[in-house]
Structure 1
Amino acid sequence: MAGLALLVGLAASVPAQSQNDAPPQPAGPEVVQRVAPSVVLILVGDGGGRLSQTGTGLVVRSDGVLLTAYHLIEDAREVQVRLQNGETFDRVELLGTDPRRDIAALRISATGLPVLPVVGLDKVAPGEPVFVVSHPEGLGWSASEGVLSAVRPADEVAGAGEGYRLLQFTAPVSPGSSGGALVDAQGRVLGIVTRGSGGWKTQNLNFAVPVESVLGLAEGAQRLLLGPGSELQPPQPARSPRAVEAVTADPAGIAQRARTLYIASGSLWVEEDAMANALGQRKEVKQWGLVLVSDRRAADLILTVDRPVFTYDFTYQLVDAKTSIILASGKVIAFDGTRAAPMIAKKFVEQFKSLRPLPAVESAEKKPAPAGEEKK
């Protein structure tokens, strides 16, 4: 009987012992420290060493293969990749793309890079903690924490398209987080951040593509060499105009002196050419003598158009290239960029008129001649 009691006691103690021996969940700082070396900074330029945007990439193979957001590099003329240890790579190859899911695979010449384990969606559930490591606003290797809200079809998310799944999460993201790593509490990769809802304004409603759905891109054989980004530099902290410029700046005066206009698009949904054509058809633009230029450095004014992801809002902002003072802004609602462009052009003209009235038109020849003085 004593032996039987001993066996029963041992059996009862097994579950408790196994539970105590289970490895503890790593703390948030430990997760981020584990993930960060596998996250890269991507600089994108529009030519001539001019930085147009920054984003994030995730190492998925030790021989230099990365996944990032497709919209980040779609129209890139120059691309540069930087590792957390400071190593910089100006030669970047495009291996493959999945525009539907907004994911692209890149390759750099590095080897021996750290790769994180991947966790399948069948191993996680809504409500579990998640972390994002990315470069919001160019601030390198930043971390945010939230929960996995849901795994849902893209069809349920306005403007996201269809035919694939999205991870909805609450960890805050910002511009520059595109391509960032969404990981679970053990540092295992769940997804690649695409973009935040509402143009990054809704901080707790964000989306990522499950990494298990796009890992095949790493095997792509496209090997398209992108423009070298050897002249690109990370963004510097934004500086306000000099005090004397801020005090003496006159929006109306700036508008009246302006001669050149550059159009910049912050979204793949808005093409600069469509916006340029829409403005070119406005007689007011010709009357003002505004010339559209293709070189940002030659511009007096910069008109930036964008479409926050998963919306039908098309926003625009007109700024002075020298002082960055905002002269006009607004938004229109349209199905696509082709329809939005003339609507934006119309609102641009209406607002710009208040700063720079149209020049007087010589209309004497248009006036009817007094009776009896008709030309013979």
Structure 2
Amino acid sequence: MTTLSTFSDELADAISRSTSAVVALPSGRLTLSGVYWRPGIVVTTVDVRRCRGEITLMTSDGEVKPASLVGADPGTDIAVLRVDATDNPMPELADLDALRLGHLVLALGRSNDGSAIANCGILASLGGAWQSWTGGHIDRLIRPDIRPFPGFAGSLLLDTRGRALGINTTYSRGREAVTIPATTVERVVDQMLQGGRVTRGYLGVGLQPVELNPQLKQSLNLGQDIGVLIVSVETDSPAERGGVLIGDIVLTLEGSEISSVQALRAHLSPERVGQPITARTIRGGQLIELTLTVGER
């Protein structure tokens, strides 16, 4: 019993250490949390754009402060706010490389009236980099087995020492929890503060996976089964300027097999903007190579 009580106290202490860094963003029916991430900077989810009128936040001591939107990135579901504060509390960032499947994690948010809300669960899924359902690059998969509560969006995910793992959001119509890792949040904050938005690579094409005909595979000596069909090309886009035509089938980019839309988009990282990229495609039953310059969206 003493051991259980001690463990319970340790969890309460972990939450207590970060409570002052978590704020409420009250806005009528919308219940949203935010986290002081840097001096004068609060991060939350892009839902903050639905706030009616001016954006305000409520601190842990009940103080209401105005905030301005620096930028919002639907790809990562992260929004960045600026607040008139320089000595605000900030959570310590955890070492994400130390995470293991099954680790106990804590979610900490606030309700519309500013009350702190906490929940806990285990890490149900843990994996590498992935692309969000809205096209953003997320550094790694962190999915806690925690049922979302009012104020979960924009809340903080903590390890058992009270260190920040990332910012919580939801998917599947708000029924499932997922965490945007702290490394991704850091990257988005950097880009937002520098330019007010997140840069992404862009080709300007509509895409659809397509199974390759066995006879075509044999005639071209291909080992892959699926390519990506170009179904549309935007006018004056990087793809059009590079010679891409509707009906082309993309097989590889920079030598890497492309068998899904997600695989192609994964090659359009911010670092690729302005850089040439080699596409191996099928056109009219023949293999051709195109050099495309990745644009910026």
Q: What is the deviation of 1:76? A: 4.8
1:65 to 33, 36, 41: 41
SS of the residue aligned with 1:73?
helix
1:39 to 22, 25, 34: 22
1:162 to 1:114, Cα distance in 2 relative to 1, 3 A: closer
Structure 2 counterpart of 1:341 = none
Structure 1 counterpart of 2:160 = 185
Does residue 1:216 correspond to 2:187, yes or no? Answer: yes
Query: 1:58 & 1:89 partners in 2: Cα distance?
Result: 14
| 1:128-167 equivalence runs, <5 A | 128-136=103-111, 140-152=115-127, 159=133, 161=135, 163-164=137-138, 165-167=140-142
**Paired residue type of 1:78:** E
**Paired residue type of 1:79:** I
For residues 218-243 of structure 1, give each alpha carbon's deviation from its aligned partner in whole angstroms, at most 9, with x where no partner exists.
3414579xxxxxxxxxxxxxxxxxxx
For residues 237-274 of structure 1, give each alpha carbon's deviation from its aligned partner in whole angstroms, at most 9, with x where no partner exists.
xxxxxxxxxxxxxxxxxxxxxxxxxxxxxxxxxxxxxx
For residues 98-122 of structure 1, give each alpha carbon's deviation from its aligned partner in whole angstroms, at most 9, with x where no partner exists.
2211001111102211111111321
**Paired residue type of 2:137:** G
1:199 to 173, 185, 188: 173
RMSD (Å) for aligned C-alpha atoms: 2.8
TM-score (norm 2): 0.56
SS of the residue aligned with 2:37?
strand
User: Which is helix-richer, 1 or 2?
Assistant: 1
Q: Which moved more, 1:114-123 or 1:133-142?
A: 133-142
Q: What is the deviation of 1:123? A: 1.7
Structure 2 counterpart of 1:312 = none
Whether the 8 Å CA contact 2:18–2:162 is kept in 1: the answer is yes
1:109 to 65, 84, 93: 84
Q: What is the deviation of 1:154? A: 7.5
Unmatched segments (≥5 aa) in structure 1: 1-23, 45-50, 225-376
SS of the residue aligned with 2:13?
helix
Whether the 8 Å CA contact 2:24–2:111 is kept in 1: the answer is no
**Paired residue type of 2:31:** T
Query: 1:102 & 1:145 partners in 2: Cα distance?
Result: 22
Structure 1 counterpart of 2:285 = none
Does residue 1:127 correspond to 2:110, yes or no? Answer: no
Structure 1 counterpart of 2:57 = 81
Provide the aligned length of Structure 1 versus Structure 2.
188
For residues 281-324 of structure 1, give each alpha carbon's deviation from its aligned partner in whole angstroms, at most 9, with x where no partner exists.
xxxxxxxxxxxxxxxxxxxxxxxxxxxxxxxxxxxxxxxxxxxx
1:211 to 1:156, Cα distance in 2 relative to 1, 3 A: closer
Query: 1:212 & 1:180 partners in 2: Cα distance?
Result: 16
User: Which is strand-richer, 1 or 2?
Assistant: 2
Query: 2:57 & 2:188 partners in 1: Cα distance?
Result: 18
SS of the residue aligned with 1:28?
helix
SS of the residue aligned with 1:191?
strand
1:26 to 1:211, Cα distance in 2 relative to 1, 3 A: farther
**Paired residue type of 1:87:** E
1:65 to 1:208, Cα distance in 2 relative to 1, 3 A: same
1:99 to 62, 74, 77: 74
Q: Which has the larger radius of gyration?
A: 1
Whether the 8 Å CA contact 1:175–1:200 is kept in 2: the answer is no
1:84 to 1:216, Cα distance in 2 relative to 1, 3 A: same
Query: 2:51 & 2:23 partners in 1: Cα distance?
Result: 20
Percent of pairs with identical residues: 25
**Paired residue type of 2:49:** I
Query: 2:94 & 2:156 partners in 1: Cα distance?
Result: 12
Whether the 8 Å CA contact 2:105–2:160 is kept in 1: the answer is yes
Unmatched segments (≥5 aa) in structure 2: 1-6, 198-297
Query: 1:36 & 1:85 partners in 2: Cα distance?
Result: 10
